[in-house]
Structure 1
Amino acid sequence: MFALSDLPEIIPVFPLPGALLLPRSQLPLHIFEPRYLAMLDDTMKTSHRLIGMVQPREGGETGAVHLQTVGCAGRLTAFSETEDGRYMITLAGISRFRIRAEVDGFTPYIRAQVDWSDFAQDPGGAGRDPDFDRERFLALLSRFFEARALATDWDSIREADDELLINSLSMLLPLGVEDKQALLEAPTLSDRRETLETLIAYALKAGDAGPEVMQ
């Protein structure tokens, strides 16, 4: 487990639209772009093995891409290399961070100076949601799955603890990039669950249905 004082001031960041990582969650990724293969090679040489996942956002200039200010760092816990040189990796979420500045340098990927202090609770134990009405939440989720023609393992959903359930759904449900960012920035687990409920209810009201499958 990382202490706040163990977290580095500068980390590589990986901007990927819609890919949400949260503390104590697992994010599998398929890496094939040369610049991010270089990022992985460099990360594996560090003691912390941290990569910051962050949502890109479109800037005012044509084709310009900027970064959201809040992301989440994950520790590289598993990787395998394919015969053609690509990586299959898993990041374990450690803590959210706030980007203070991008760091100039010669790397083909982005590095950022980050501040962890706003999220001092993240490296600790699991978050709690004392007001979570699981039955009401599952009823809402069932309506959403039916409207979207989603299939999933209901037994696993019913048995998951509160944080695993809320964070996994936040990461996996087909929601927009801005919605994912709102879920990431929710201060507490209760706030994230309330945000998720609001997003699901809004999607149901909008009636935007389409066949998808969630594993």
Structure 2
Amino acid sequence: MAQGYVKASDLPQVIPVFPLDGAILLPRGQLPLNIFEPRYLNMVDDAMAGDRIIGMIQCAGGPPHQPALAAVGCAGRITSFAETSDGRYLITLTGVSRFRVTNELGAPTPYRQVRAAFADFEADLTPPAEEDFDRPDFMAALRAYLGRRQLEIDWEMAEAAPREALVNSLSMALPFDPAEKQALIEATDLTARAGILTAMMRIDAAEPGDGDAPGPMQ
């Protein structure tokens, strides 16, 4: 159960959104954010005074000053909050559930708000069962991907991590482009997301230009 929410109807129908390409949130994932723009400081103030829910969402084209919003984002609850001496907020959002944007409201607030439909993603509120997972195949794809990019992770922790934590944390953290990130958000379930992530890592590792094989881990 996510943050005390049992069913989709427990979640607020109208939520503030933070459009940010490349920064996605997934259920039970944790996303640290450094908030400094006045409109988003206002958004955090209002969220902290209410249910602490903020929707992370990517953009889908349109003018830079008011880009269109992607169809699907993920709502998170502020689970950590600190204020710096220069007036910034350092917060952590913990993912609760994905949502579908029904429509954007003409809100009087400086930040954007949407009517959010959570019903299609009610399964997000319950951690998935630890089903069979071809971890060696997944880890091989991850090693090839990180090797090509000369990135490193804590392999011992990755090997021991539960499937959901491993797949969702990598989906959030790895530097895929916004369209690829959106595909990971919109994956039907965790099994589908793991398959998409594996394919994306293999495609990236196989791209020409860095030699015929991934280089050694640094």
Q: TM-score, normalised by structure 1?
A: 0.92
Q: 1:98 to 1:17 in 2, by over 3 A?
A: same
**What residue ranges of structure 1 are gaps of 5+ in the alignment?**
210-215
The Cα offsets for residues 16-71 of structure 1, whole Å up to 9 and x where unpaired, read as 0100100011110000000000000111110x210000001212x57651100100
Aligned match of 1:146: 147
Kindly state the Cα deviation for residue 140 of structure 1 after the two structures are TM-superposed: 1.4
Q: 1:9 to 1:17 in 2, by over 3 A?
A: same
Report the identity percentage: 47
Q: 1:42 to 1:64 in 2, by over 3 A?
A: closer
Decide whether the 8 Å contact of 1:15 with 1:67 is kept in 2. Answer: yes
RMSD value, Cα: 1.5
The Cα offsets for residues 140-184 of structure 1, whole Å up to 9 and x where unpaired, read as 111111111001111111110110000011011110100000000
The 5-angstrom pairing of residues 1-215 of structure 1 reads 1-3=4-6, 4-46=8-50, 48-59=51-62, 64-124=66-126, 126-128=127-129, 130-207=131-208
In 1, the alpha carbon distance for the partners of 2:73 and 2:88 equals 24
Decide whether the 8 Å contact of 1:13 with 1:54 is kept in 2. Answer: yes
SS of residue matched to 1:51: strand
The Cα offsets for residues 52-92 of structure 1, whole Å up to 9 and x where unpaired, read as 00001212x57651100100000011110000100000001
SS of residue matched to 1:164: helix
Aligned residue-pair number: 206
The Cα offsets for residues 162-207 of structure 1, whole Å up to 9 and x where unpaired, read as 1000001101111010000000000111000000011111111224
In 1, the alpha carbon distance for the partners of 2:66 and 2:107 equals 19
In 1, the alpha carbon distance for the partners of 2:5 and 2:91 equals 20
**What residue ranges of structure 2 are gaps of 5+ in the alignment?**
211-218
Q: Which amino acid aligns with 2:198?
A: E
In 1, the alpha carbon distance for the partners of 2:124 and 2:200 equals 23
SS of residue matched to 2:153: coil
Q: Which amino acid aligns with 2:197?
A: L
Q: TM-score, normalised by structure 2?
A: 0.90
